[in-house]
Structure 1
Amino acid sequence: MSGLTQETPAIARDMARKVLCRFRNVNKSYDGKARVVADLDLDIHQGEFLTLLGPSGSGKTTTLMMLAGFEQPNHGTIELDGSSIVGVPAYQRNIGMVFQNYALFPHMTVAQNLAFPLRMRGIAKAERERRVSDILDMVRLPEVADRRPVQLSGGQQQRIALARALIFEPQLVLMDEPLGALDKQLREQMQLEIRSLHERLGITVVYVTHDQSEALTMSDRVAVFAHGRIQQIAPPDDIYEHPANAFVADFVGDNNRLSGVVRSRGGEEYEVDCNGLVLQAVAKSEHGIGDEVLVVFRPENGVINHPIPPAPNRFDGKITERIYLGDHLRLRCQLTNGDLITVKISNKSHLSTCGTGSAISLYWSGMDCYVLPQPAGKA
């Protein structure tokens, strides 16, 4: 694995300035009518970990399959390292692939599975054996070389599948829901292992998942898909803290949403009337006076029953539901205007003993409240 292990995080960061893969105006339809992927423009930088995140049917897996060569676009171009790969067979693209079902050959040993892509590329036997030994050490499974896949645990099979994708030193590694079959604890462990391998080797990874926490944990950037289009592409903290629209705000993490009308504005700061509650909030996009908008704010950012300024951004109401979730509680609260919002508190908080029906006062800073366009037809 000499070609892989020479990369360092510093070199990977330098390489990240280069665009390794480029989609331009890519469209894909299976029936000639509905577009599964629509007008896709996307740059993937060398050395980055990019996650395609979205619900089922959003276009993320189809995008990955077109990059892998298992699907072809109806329109547009896909380039890899400056050359078009539209029409190039999958086996000629020098791309590694990791699937959810591992796709290991059951009749082969682990060593034979790992050697297979090298043998198909005409690598000599001595070099194949050296690389197999190196990659097994890298994924910390040197003792399983002579076992068959059925003799491995789910986590071990996934490590071997990842090793097989890396062993021929591809330009790019694609992962399609690779941890979906694992239990929660093993899944979280494998997230960290994959991320660690990425940082050590400086490889370029495109990862598909519908799991938002997985995307936030592992990625340099996240592209949120819906209806065949990218709704937002940004680093994980930007996606979470500054959602671009109502879909991203709903899909990534928990958000309270109140509908309202813009009452005044000054630069990026807005005052919004939400059914009688006046909120101060910020926005990146332009909204006019009288526009119907959404104000979104995260449940964990609220201040509860402490000295709270009278207005704006103060909510008074009562607790209608209390849910224990181990390290925190979720309180569902009905406001005086009838709207429902959620707040998260530590299970060690002095409020943790409050029951349903208890009065509560809440406050969110205007810098933690964001004005977004009202989705079409939802005003």
Structure 2
Amino acid sequence: MTDALVRFRGVSKSYDGRTPVVTDLDLDVSRGEFLTLLGPSGSGKTTTLMMLAGFEDPSAGSIELDGVRIDTVPPHRRGIGVVFQNYALFPHMTVAENLAFPLSIRRLKREEIATRTRRALEMVRLPGFGDRRPQQLSGGQQQRVALARALIFAPKLVLLDEPLGALDKQLREELQAEIRRIHAQLGVTMVYVTHDQAEALTLSDRIAVFNEGRIQQLGTAEAVYERPANPFVAGFIGESNRLAARVLDATLLRLEDGSTLEAMPHAFAPGTAVLVSIRPERVLLGPGTQGLANATTARVEEVVYLGDHSRLRLAHAGRTDFVVKLPRQEAVPQPGSLVDLAIPVAAVAVFPA
């Protein structure tokens, strides 16, 4: 990466000297990028963010910001904006005073502080809220203020630690749009931590998928969803049907029930045990699927209506938990009926067992 603002090199972290939380992390964050660290609880994503912020010390390795090593620099001297899930606003201060605080400790002039505070409130669409106390604001408004405070001193880097985790779904989606707008407007580098896959797909230029202290895959939202690097990524981001199989040749697999499945060419030797992953929305249903690749019939076990789509559970390939997602406008078969289905070859991802 030619224009990296942040560099992790060989960074590891263990709290007890024995159990690794982050292991040998190498990661570059581009200038102006929105990078999301995504993973389950205990995967190492938050520890990585806290080491970058300066609230945790690496056990090994180095961290650089804009070419300067910062892993020995205290947090308040790193010049990084941080937004937490719990807002961390000062309750005894007004909104304007909260926003002014990082400017006053940098000894900016009163007129400059007033101008920046007004602009920050306008940026997060809260003009006229400067005289209110945090407890007089909704959760979403408090999080907007926290974001404005992290941005008001024009940092090179802003870190966001699950900032929307305490909000309801509709408000989360509204603030996701606000964060995207502000990032596009300012062009500031942002590193965002979440366990919410949909949030990561919505916000990110790139996603680093963490598990067991290591990055499992680093790439665009489309890449990690459409071309997962391993079964963990395929299962963690979105939903997947996972089937055990054995390789017959370079494109043909035999499933556990004896049926065959055609896949894209792969490098596994005949006889190798593999794991197949198929996204539910990639499966085709209906009479028009006859004659397509991997065409067969299946029995509908269950139908769940979810508004914008229906989720079907099918008896297929020797299992009764094969999931297909149908868009709302398509006719939905009833439980107990037989349906024609086809699985596009490109939708069959093959991994080591």
The TM-score bracket by the shorter chain reads over 0.9
Shift in CA distance, 217/181, structure 1 to aligned 2, threshold 3 Å: same
Could you tell me which residue of structure 2 aligns to residue 295 of structure 1? 276
Asked if structure 2 preserves the Cα contact closer than 8 Å seen for 1:17 and 1:46, the reply is no
The aligned residue for residue 70 of structure 2 is 85
Distance 1:126-1:338 versus aligned 2 partners, 3 A rule? closer
Residues 257 and 197 of structure 1, relative CA distance in 2, 3 Å threshold: same
Question: Following the alignment from structure 1 to structure 2, what is the Cα–Cα distance between the partners of residues 331 and 339?
Answer: 11
Q: In the alignment, what sits opposite 1:377?
A: none
CA distance in 2, matches of 1:364, 1:312: 6
Question: Do the aligned partners of 2:207 and 2:218 also contact (CA within 8 Å) in 1?
Answer: yes
Shift of 1:62: 0.1
Tell me how far apart the structure 2 counterparts of residues 144 and 308 of structure 1 sit (CA, whole Å). 58
Deviations 1:79-108, CA, capped at 9 Å, x for gaps:
111111111100000100000000000000
Q: What SS class does the counterpart of residue 113 from structure 2 fall into? A: helix
Root mean square deviation of aligned Cα: 1.4
Q: Kindly indicate whether the alpha-carbon contact (under 8 Å) linking 2:300 and 2:337 is maintained by their aligned counterparts in 1.
A: yes
Residues 1:155 and 2:146 are matched in the alignment: no
Deviation digits for residues 132-154 of structure 1, max 9, x if unmatched? 11111111111100000001111
The amino acid that maps onto 2:15 is Y
State yes or no: 1:251 paired with 2:243: no
3-state SS, counterpart of residue 206 of structure 1: strand
Identity of aligned residues (%): 55
Q: Which amino acid aligns with 1:81?
A: D
1:66 aligns with one of 51, 62, 70? 51
Among 172, 178, 186, the residue aligned to 1:201: 186
Equivalent residues in 2 for 1:125-144, closer than 5 Å? 125-144=110-129
Pick one of 328, 340, 344 that aligns with 1:365.
344
Match of 1:274 among 251, 255, 258: 255
CA deviation digits over 1:302-347, x for unaligned, max 9? Answer: 1112233457512422111111111111010012534531001123
* Stretches of structure 1 lacking an aligned partner (at least 5 in a row): 1-15, 375-379
Question: Does the CA contact (< 8 Å) of 1:278 and 1:311 recur in 2?
Answer: no
Query: Per-residue displacement from partner, 1:218-270 (whole Å, max 9, x unpaired)?
Result: 000000000000000000011110000000000000111111011111xxxx2
Quick one: distance in 2 between partners of 1:311 and 1:156?
52
The separation in 2 between residues aligned to 1:326 and 1:17, in whole angstroms, is 45
Query: What is the correspondence of 1:338-349 to structure 2 with a 5 Å cutoff?
Result: 338=319, 340-349=321-330
In 2: Cα distance, 1:42 partner to 1:28 partner = 15
Amino acid corresponding to residue 262 of structure 2 in structure 1: Q
Quick check: 1:333 aligned with 2:333? no
Aligned position for 2:214: 229
* AA partner of residue 272 (structure 1): L
Instruction: Please give the alpha-carbon distance, in whole angstroms, between the structure 1 residues aligned to 2:132 and 2:342.
Output: 59
Q: Where does residue 13 of structure 1 map in the other structure?
A: none
**1:314 aligned onto 2:295:** yes
**Following the alignment from structure 1 to structure 2, what is the Cα–Cα distance between the partners of residues 311 and 216?**
31
The DSSP-based 3-state class of the residue aligned with 1:258 is strand
Q: Secondary structure at the match of 2:289?
A: coil
Deviation (angstroms), 1:361: 1.9
1:263 to 1:311, Cα distance in 2 relative to 1, 3 A: farther
Q: Which deviates more, 340-349 or 229-238?
A: 340-349
Moved more, 249-258 or 289-298: 289-298
One-letter code of the match for 1:167? Answer: I
- Give 2:104's aligned amino acid: R
Residue 94 of structure 2 aligns with which residue? 109
Question: Is residue 175–residue 208 contact of structure 1 (8 Å, CA) maintained in 2?
Answer: yes
Match of 2:203 in 1: 218
Question: Which amino acid letter does the alignment assign opposite residue 259 of structure 2?
Answer: L
Counterparts of 1:31 and 1:199, CA distance in 2: 41
Distance 2:160 2:35 in 1: 10
Distance 1:160 1:261 in 2: 55
**With structure 2 as the length reference, what TM-score do the two structures score?**
0.97
Map of 1:4 onto structure 2: none
Letter in 2 for 1:290: G
Residue 25 of structure 1 corresponds to which residue in structure 2? 10
Please say if 1:36 is aligned against 2:21: yes
For 1:369 and 1:334, the matched residues in 2 are separated by: 18
Distance 2:43 2:350 in 1: 25
Which residue of the partner structure matches residue 49 of structure 1?
Answer: 34
Task: Work out whether residues 313 and 320 of structure 2, in 8 Å CA contact, stay in contact via their aligned partners in 1.
Answer: no
